[in-house]
C-alpha cells in the first residue's frame, strides 16, 4: 500500500488532493476491501475472523482521523488500527447498537479501494 501511496502522491495534482481530502473529511468515504475481518472470537463463531469482501461507508470523522495520523507520520499499521475500529463500529456493531467491548481483527488485506462522493 505504501508504494501505491507514493505513486498517487507524485501524480495527483495538489489542488485536486486538497479538494478530495476536504470532501472525504466532510462527507465520509466508502472502503471496498477483501481482508480477514471479524471479532477476535472463539473458533466456529459466526463473527470469527475470516476473509470477507466488505463495502462500507465510513463517516468524515474517520477520514479526518486517518489524515491526521498520516500527517503525524503514522505508519500503515497505525492506520490499519483506525480502519479496524471504524469498520468494526459500522459493520459489526451497527453504529454502536450491539457488540460492545469486542476486539476487531482486520488483517491480511488483499486490497483496499477508497471512493469519495
Give residue limits of the domains in the chain: 2-115
Burial classification of residue 66, based on how many CB atoms lie within 10 Å of its CB (0-12 exposed, 13-18 middle, 19 or more buried):
buried
- Residue 27 CB partners (closer than 8 Å, separation 6+): 60, 116, 117
- Residue 35 CB partners (closer than 8 Å, separation 6+): 51, 52, 54, 106, 107, 108, 109, 110, 112
User: pLDDT tens across 4-33, in order?
Assistant: 677 666 666 777 888 999 999 999 999 999
Mean pLDDT for the stretch of residues 66-78: 94
Q: What's the mean pLDDT when you consider all of the chain? A: 83
Amino acid at each position: 500500500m505504501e508504494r501505491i501511496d507514493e505513486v498517487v502522491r507524485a501524480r495527483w495534482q495538489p489542488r485536486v488532493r486538497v479538494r478530495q481530502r476536504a470532501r472525504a473529511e466532510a462527507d465520509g468515504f466508502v472502503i471496498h476491501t477483501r481482508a480477514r475481518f471479524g471479532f477476535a472470537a472463539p473458533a466456529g463463531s459466526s463473527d470469527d475472523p475470516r476473509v470477507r469482501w466488505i463495502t462500507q461507508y465510513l463517516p468524515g470523522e474517520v477520514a479526518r482521523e486517518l489524515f491526521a495520523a498520516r500527517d503525524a507520520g503514522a505508519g500503515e499499521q497505525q492506520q490499519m488500527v483506525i480502519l479496524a475500529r471504524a469498520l468494526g463500529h459500522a459493520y459489526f456493531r451497527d453504529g454502536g447498537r450491539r457488540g460492545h467491548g469486542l476486539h476487531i481483527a482486520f488483517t491480511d488485506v488483499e486490497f483496499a479501494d477508497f471512493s469519495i462522493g
